[in-house]
Amino acid sequence: MQQLEDAYKNNQKDLMKEYAYMNNPYKIGDIIEDHSSILKIETIRWRPSSIGEKFPSCVYYGIQLTKKLEPSKRQDSTVMHQVNVERKLN
């Protein structure tokens, strides 16, 4: 019985991951903006749905940019969730 439960969980996780990536409109190198920052995407990962969301989605990691689309002086890495992206800048 445990093997069946493990297989179900693995299959469910694979389906959630596939769903998130299939519904991802951005790619590495894109510049995106949310309500507080601008990010040049360096890595894309996925996450399962959370409170207030019905479906899995992507999370974007990269260097924070200024309004002039240049790396910020602090060279901060930042994270942006797909549901928070307001627009693509490039």
For 3-29, the pLDDT digits (tens) are 878 887 778 899 999 999 999 999 999
Q: Give the position of tokens 């519904």.
A: 23
Strand runs labelled E in 1-90: 31-33, 38-47, 57-65, 77-81, 87-88
Question: Whose CA is closest to 31, among 9, 76, 63?
Answer: 63
Q: Which pLDDT belongs to residue 30? A: 98
CATH of the domain at 6: 2.30.30
Mean model confidence pLDDT for the chain: 91
Tell me if 32 sits within 8 A of 26, measured CB to CB: yes
| Whole-structure pTM value | 0.86
Could you give the number of structural domains in the chain?
1
pLDDT band at residue 82 under the 50/70/90 scheme: very high
What torsion, rounded to 10 degrees, do the Cα atoms 16, 89, 41, 15 define? 10
Q: Which domain holds residue 76?
A: 2-88
